[in-house]
Amino acid sequence: MITKRISTEQILAKLRHKVTHRIPIMISSAGSGLVAQLQEEAGTDCINTFSGARLRANGMGTMSMMWPIMDSNQYTLDYTREDIMPALKGQAFVCACLNANDPLKDMRMVLEDCQRMGVNAVSNIGPSISYVDHDSEIYQVLTKAGITLDNEIEMLSLAKEMGMVTIGLGFTLEDSIRICAEAQPHVFCYHAGTTKGGLKGYDNGTTIEQTAAITEHAYNECRKVHPEVILVGHGAAMETPADAQYILDHTSGHGFWTGSSTERIPIEKAVSDAAKQFTSLQFSK
């Protein structure tokens, strides 16, 4: 098995071509080789890998990665190398979503490991401190312990210096502006909240109209500090293709990022429906 490599130059050229010609960019998460393969065949531009996606493939929720049950970076690198890369044909590039707050690793070495396996893009969400409510006590405790957005910005900046494509992600407007201003990522994704739908989704009541409005506000603020950034949206009420179309029609971004919408939710439905048809069979009289 020889996995086709996609260079940073090829990745950026494709993304910029899409921006210029107003073709939506699609980033999608994959927790298994089969899902990655199907997404690539369907035409996604980028497949991102992270511990949350791998846990989703095992029936858990994305936020399970926030609990200290594993070495998130090693988990991501292992399944990216063994499950995802060999499954692809080189049409979609892979972005590894890393934990920049890993106290046991030199992130330069982690980035070098990514490059060695042919992964030339990284993001800061594996997991990110931006997931945690800023007005909570746990956020204060974590940041006091040295788990900060500063480390994520530093990792994205270093990755860019090393010639990698960087995809920043933030949950809050404050974090989004900081990431765009200080790390200057090639792509930025505004995360409007955990995706609703399916067995593990969380619905906080946000409508697609509200999701589009807060996403557009974040886009406008991010452009003020990083005018060249490529912008995509993710999460909250953006569950279906129709929802994603609404985001495209009502924001000034360049595309979208799907997670559960193109892996967990369709798998839940397809496998459940097929299994029920089989379990309903009876012996013919």
- Give DSSP secondary structure letters for 84-101: IGGG--SSSEEEEE--TT
Residue 46 has what pLDDT?
A: 98
Residue 69 has what pLDDT?
A: 77
Residue 246 has what pLDDT?
A: 96
What would the pLDDT profile of 165-222 be if each residue is shown by its tens digit? 999 999 999 999 999 999 999 999 999 887 755 565 555 678 999 999 999 999 999 9
Q: Does residue 1 sit within a domain?
A: no
The answer to whether the Cα torsion of 163, 167, 170, 175 is positive or negative is positive
Helix then strand then coil, % of the chain, to nearest 5: 50, 15, 35
pLDDT > 70 fraction of the chain, expressed in percent and rounded: 96
Say what the pTM is.
0.92
Q: Does residue 2 sit within a domain?
A: no
What CATH number did the domain enclosing 207 receive?
3.20.20.70
- Give me the residues of the chain with pLDDT under 70, please: 196-204
Residue 201 has what pLDDT?
A: 59
Domain of residue 67 covers 8-268
| Tally of domains in the chain | 1
Residue 202 has what pLDDT?
A: 57
Residue 10 has what pLDDT?
A: 97
Q: Does residue 170 sit within a domain?
A: yes
Residue 230 has what pLDDT?
A: 98
Could you give the CA distance from residue 221 to residue 235 in angstroms, rounded to a whole number? 19
Residue 198 has what pLDDT?
A: 59
Residue 261 has what pLDDT?
A: 87
Residue 217 has what pLDDT?
A: 97
Q: Does residue 282 sit within a domain?
A: no
Please, what's the b/e burial string for 254-274 (b: 16 or more CB within 10 A of its CB; e: otherwise)? Answer: bbbbbbbbbbbbebbeeeeee
Q: Does residue 235 sit within a domain?
A: yes
Residue 68 has what pLDDT?
A: 78
Q: Does residue 209 sit within a domain?
A: yes
Residue 203 has what pLDDT?
A: 59
